[in-house]
Each structure stands twice: as structure tokens, then as C-alpha cells.
Amino acid sequence: MAYKLMTSNGVYSIIKDNSLTIPKDLGNRHYQEFLQDVKNNGMSIVTGADVVTPDYKYQRLNESDGYKSFGEQLDMQYKNNGSWESHIAAVKSKYPKTNTGSTTVAEIPSWVQEEVDKL
């Protein structure tokens, strides 16, 4: 058996053997089973949540300090005061093409051990 932690908007759930999603809820029997399995087998059966760093394309288009809207860029070009070129250069500098994105695994949060210790 293996467990993978998942997080969405700060709310944790647990995936068991890549098939069963278990909510973090003390009233749920599968969550109780998860805690008991960790107590019996140790933390080695638990993997932290994935941490995804988006690539430069996503960041340039979707971050708040990325490219301005199409209309705003057209307005910059129309005014022809050099602001469009400096805006594009600043975004490309902040999010270089070398940022290809990555996925890492987070540490297992302390609440897992704290819950297991309560058993």
C-alpha cells in the first residue's frame, strides 16, 4: 500500500494506491485506516504533495506581472512612447525561456505525524 498526499487550495486529501481518494476527515473510516497504516508501517508509505512550477510560457501569459492584455499592448504601441518594448523586455527578463517548469515533491506535513500520535 502507498499513500500520496494531494492539496487543493490548502485542503488536503490522500490518494491510496493511485485509486481511492480519502478526505482528511477523522470521521471517515478510510482516513482512520490511513492513520493506522502509517502508525504500523511508518512514514515511508506516504509521499508528499506535488509542487508544480509552471514554465515560462504559462508565467508570461498568466502571472499578474506578465504580459498585459492584447488591448493594453495595442494602446502602448499606438502611443509609441517606448513603453511596449520596455514592457515586453521586462516580462521576458523576469520569465526567461530557460524556465522550463518542474514538478517536485513537498515534505510530508507535520499534521500527519501529529494525527498518528493521537492514536
- Distance, in Å, from the CA atom of 68 to the CA atom of 63, rounded to the nearest integer, reads 10
**Residue range(s) defining the domain that contains residue 46:** 1-52+102-119
Q: Please check whether residues 47 and 2 belong to one and the same domain.
A: yes
Helices (H), 1-119: 29-41, 56-62, 70-79, 83-94, 110-117
Q: pLDDT, tens digit, for every residue of 22-60?
A: 999 999 999 999 999 999 999 999 999 999 999 999 999
Regarding whether 119 and 82 lie in a shared domain, the answer is: no
Total domains in the chain come to 2
Residues 61 and 83 grouped into a single domain: yes
Q: How sure is the predictor about 81, in pLDDT bands with cuts at 50, 70 and 90?
A: confident
The whole-angstrom separation of Cα 110 and Cα 10 is 14
61: pLDDT strictly greater than 90? yes
Chain Cα centroid distance, residue 15: 16
